[in-house]
Amino acid sequence: MPSDEMRTCNFEADKLILQLRVTLTADKNAVDPLVQGVMQIVRQMQCALGKEDAIELALAEALANAVVHGCGSDPSKIIECDVACDEVRGMLIVVRDPGKGFDPAGLPSPVNGQQVFSDHGRGIYLINQLMDEVKFLKNGTEIHMLKR
């Protein structure tokens, strides 16, 4: 993970006990194997004891959004994912896609009005509920998720 991102998220390099960078093609079928692989490492390292399920679901949602919305399910496009565990701050996950981006504040709430009956549109809401800190950068093409 580049040092400027670690400074942005207040992670201290000397306190990192896990640092992982992976990429995947924008294929829905690539999401679950990647999530399972990352989570296997996270569980072995015991970086987020008792919080693994929340992290796993947030990671899966962020990657699925990157595939579908950021890349238009175009397998020629690449998504990047960085995972870091800091003894003090917790688990940081960054997902980047090459899309045009979006305004997260402009998303309708999936728990109000007609959106309650929609069969999609809950990913960002879930991520915000599951993680302790969520930031969208670079016009929404990059999400930073922190679990303490």
Q: For each of the domains in the chain, give its residue range(s) and CATH number, in order of start.
A: 3-147 (3.30.565.10)
Backbone angles phi, psi at 109, to 5 degrees: -70, 130
The pLDDT score that the predictor gives to residue 129 is 96
Contacts of 106 (CB under 8 A, 6+ apart): none
Name the amino acid, one letter, at 22.
Answer: V
Q: Which residues of 81-97 are buried (b: 16+ CB within 10 A; e: fewer)?
A: bbbbbbeebbbbbbbbb
81: nearest Cα among 127, 128, 19: 19
pLDDT in tens, the chain (148 residues): 343 343 345 555 556 677 899 999 999 999 999 999 999 988 988 888 899 999 999 999 999 999 999 999 999 999 999 999 877 778 999 999 999 999 998 887 878 777 766 666 789 999 999 999 999 999 999 999 999 9
Let me know: does 23 contact 81? Beta carbons within 8 Å: yes
- The Cα–Cα gap between 52 and 39 comes to 7
- Note the residue count of the chain: 148
SS3 category, 118: coil
The pLDDT score that the predictor gives to residue 4 is 38
CB atoms within 10 A of CB 15: 12
80: nearest Cα among 34, 132, 29, 16: 34
